[in-house]
């Protein structure tokens, strides 16, 4: 059901009003043949209510009070006192509106724009001024007042930034309605309208030859109608058709703007063909791809990639987004110092995520973003913010409506810090360890390609992969060695971008000085193994019988795996982890 349908439905009930939020700055398109209209939200609402016999009063701090009267409305009588015209004081306006809203004969609708400025939340460093507090109380009283409810009059609060006073946002009788982003049929219909009414002499209000109207409606997921209109206007101004690149760039800007910079839109250009190693993880994602394309409810609630830093977790997620052909939204930090701000930020992010479904939602360093150990967080003095963020994200991904439409994938280097309840929400947990010799040989060409370096004909990746200096190195560290080998090659040949030789790689590997603590890395890896949800997801195993005849694993896993079955021994694994922790505690770490 669209937000307009929801608004119509609740107006048929004895309710005082509603709060419209989220996409309230967008245009509204009314397809009606030759009489089709495009308007801002407030004018659309005014026309909508006038058609139903209401008189519409409008108030914002910038313009004061006025009545919105469409040109075709010729009714002389207004229920609003003449003294209201131009009045800018919110409290005085509300006091004069009180008898109007309680009068059944008034047939009045009051639209309060930028309600988050009229009744803002009180942040940590300030409390509401007396007039603002009185405004909040008046609006709250109206929402519960039986006289207002029975009168048939209506109050609409338009929220622009998402920060309404909690007394109104959470404890009032107003019905909260998020204005969602337009669906594909609406986007396609609006584009058809713009094409039909474009200035043909401009030569630019058209779609690129490789972009049909239906495809345009599909790839503009995440765009507002105002963004689509801007695409057409820019194309007309420059005299060129709208391309897929134009849509992609506008989408990235729009989504980050809608999420107030709390979400980064990642547009990957390479899929699994660019990924070396991670065989079990790749096979798992290939297996669930058909379910994703069907929007199947049996998809996992969340997938956690856990293990050592630089092991390719982030790169694999971006490749996954390309494989699934879906937007990848990466969560940035939502935490702020003001009371309630972090929670509002998270709510905004989840609104964007739900509006863009189907999409992939990536939470990097999830132990820090949402679900670090709650006992530890309590001692951090964050006044329960971590608990509230934690609870909200669990509530969101526990909703059956989200399952199959939003794939939540999280990454962490410190799975030991995850709250147990959050850890349980990730029904699939995949470990990432240091690459084995076979994986190093496979990774080397991929890592070189990522930094635009070519290997000369004498490079034998299997020989390089056997070098003792590469043991216990992550993929990121190996890439640093390739970059340094490229510097050696350029110095040797006196040409930038020279192919890297076998000798360059060997010299760079021997020269590399690791900066990580190997014991800490082992603990990260073994803890990730301990949390793995299925034996087939262990790096040396595979989902299919195509597993290598001789499984490999890092040396620190020796003695923990049955060589015949590839299964971990949980008791031996726990014993090894405890041994390493005791050792680290003796050193004053972990």
List the pLDDT tens digit at each of the 590 positions of the chain.
589 999 999 998 999 999 999 999 999 998 876 677 899 999 999 999 998 999 999 999 999 999 998 776 666 678 999 999 999 999 999 999 999 999 999 999 999 999 999 998 866 445 667 888 999 999 999 999 999 999 999 999 999 976 789 899 888 999 999 998 998 899 999 999 999 887 543 444 689 998 999 999 988 988 999 999 999 999 988 889 999 999 988 988 898 888 888 898 887 888 998 888 888 899 999 999 999 989 888 898 899 999 999 999 999 999 999 999 888 999 988 887 776 788 888 888 888 888 888 899 999 988 887 755 544 444 445 667 878 887 888 888 888 888 888 999 999 999 888 888 788 889 999 999 999 999 999 999 999 999 999 999 999 999 999 999 999 999 999 999 999 999 999 999 999 999 999 999 999 999 999 988 999 999 999 999 999 999 989 998 865 445 455 788 999 999 999 988 889 999 999 999 999 999 888 765 55
Other beta carbons within 10 angstroms of residue 354's beta carbon come to 20
Nearby residues of 37 by Cβ (< 8 Å), 6 or more positions away: 29, 30, 44, 47
Helices (H) and strands (E) in the chain, counts: 24, 14
Distances (CA, A) of 540 to 281, 467, 582: 11, 21, 28
Identify the domain boundary among 179, 207, 233. Answer: 179
Q: Are residues 419 and 302 in the same domain?
A: yes
- Give the C-alpha separation, 396 to 392, whole Å: 6
Q: What is the CATH number of the domain that holds 149?
A: 3.40.50
Q: Are residues 189 and 172 in the same domain?
A: no
Identify the domain boundary among 179, 201, 220. Answer: 179
Backbone dihedral angles phi then psi of residue 38, each to the nearest 5 degrees: -125, 125
List the domain range (segments joined by +) for residue 226: 184-258
Q: Are residues 173 and 215 in the same domain?
A: no
Q: Are residues 154 and 291 in the same domain?
A: no
Q: Read off the pTM.
A: 0.81
Q: Do 142 and 109 form a contact (C-beta atoms < 8 A)?
A: no
Q: Are residues 213 and 300 in the same domain?
A: no
């Amino acid at each position: 059901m669209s937000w307009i349908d929801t608004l119509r439905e609740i107006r048929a009930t004895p309710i005082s009003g509603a709060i419209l939020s989220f996409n309230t700055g967008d245009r509204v398109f009314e397809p009606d043949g030759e009489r089709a209209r495009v308007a801002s939200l407030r004018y659309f609402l005014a026309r909508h209510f006038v058609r139903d016999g209401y008189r519409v009063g409008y108030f914002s701090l910038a313009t004061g009070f006025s009545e919105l009267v469409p040109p075709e409305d010729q009714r002389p009588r207004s229920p609003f006192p003449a003294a209201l015209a131009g009045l800018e004081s919110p409290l005085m306006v509300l006091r004069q509106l009180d008898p109007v809203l309680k009068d059944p004969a008034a047939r009045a609708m009051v639209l309060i724009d930028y309600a988050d400025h009229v009744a803002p939340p009180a942040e940590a460093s300030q409390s509401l001024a007396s007039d603002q507090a009185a405004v909040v109380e008046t609006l709250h009283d109206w929402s519960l007042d039986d006289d207002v409810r029975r009168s048939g009059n209506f109050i609409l609060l338009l929220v622009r930034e998402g920060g309404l006073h909690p007394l109104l946002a959470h404890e009032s009788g107003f019905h909260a309605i998020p204005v969602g982003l337009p669906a594909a049929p609406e986007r396609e219909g609006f584009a058809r309208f713009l094409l039909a009414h474009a200035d043909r002499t401009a030569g630019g209000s058209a779609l690129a030859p490789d972009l049909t109207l239906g495809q345009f409606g599909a790839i503009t997921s995440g765009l507002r109608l105002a963004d689509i209109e801007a695409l057409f206007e820019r194309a007309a101004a420059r005299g060129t058709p709208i391309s897929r690149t134009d849509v992609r760039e506008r989408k990235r800007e729009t989504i980050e703007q809608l999420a107030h910079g709390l979400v980064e839109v990642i547009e990957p250009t390479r899929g699994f063909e660019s990924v070396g190693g991670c065989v079990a993880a790749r096979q798992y994602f290939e297996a669930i791809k058909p379910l994703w394309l069907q929007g199947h409810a049996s998809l996992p609630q969340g997938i956690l990639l856990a293990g050592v830093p630089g092991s390719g977790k982030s790169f694999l997620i971006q490749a996954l987004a390309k494989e699934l052909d879906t937007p990848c939204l990466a969560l940035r930090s939502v935490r702020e110092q003001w009371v309630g701000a972090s929670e509002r930020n998270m709510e905004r992010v989840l609104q964007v995520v739900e509006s863009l479904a189907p999409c992939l939602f990536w939470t990097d360093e999830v132990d820090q973003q949402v679900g670090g150990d709650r006992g530890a967080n309590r001692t951090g003095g964050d006044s329960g913010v971590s608990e509230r963020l934690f609870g909200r994200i669990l509530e969101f991904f526990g909703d059956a409506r989200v399952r199959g439409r939003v794939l939540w994938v999280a990454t962490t280097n410190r799975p030991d810090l995850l709250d147990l309840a959050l850890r349980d929400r990730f029904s699939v947990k995949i470990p990432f360890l240091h690459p084995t010799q076979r994986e190093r040989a496979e990774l080397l060409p991929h890592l070189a390609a990522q930094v635009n370096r070519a290997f000369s004909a004498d490079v034998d990746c299997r020989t390089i992969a056997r070098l003792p200096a590469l043991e216990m190195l992550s993929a990121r560290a190996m890439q640093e060695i390739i970059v340094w080998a490229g510097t050696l090659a350029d110095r040797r040949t006196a040409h930038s971008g020279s192919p890297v030789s076998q000798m360059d790689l060997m010299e760079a590997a021997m020269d590399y000085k690791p900066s990580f603590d190997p014991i800490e890395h082992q603990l990260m890896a073994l803890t990730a193994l301990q949390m793995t949800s299925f034996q087939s997801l262990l790096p040396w195993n595979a989902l299919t019988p195509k597993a290598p005849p001789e499984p490999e694993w890092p040396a620190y896993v020796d003695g923990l795996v049955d060589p015949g079955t590839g299964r971990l021994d949980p008791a031996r694994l726990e014993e090894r982890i405890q041994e390493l922790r005791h050792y680290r505690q003796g050193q004053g770490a972990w």
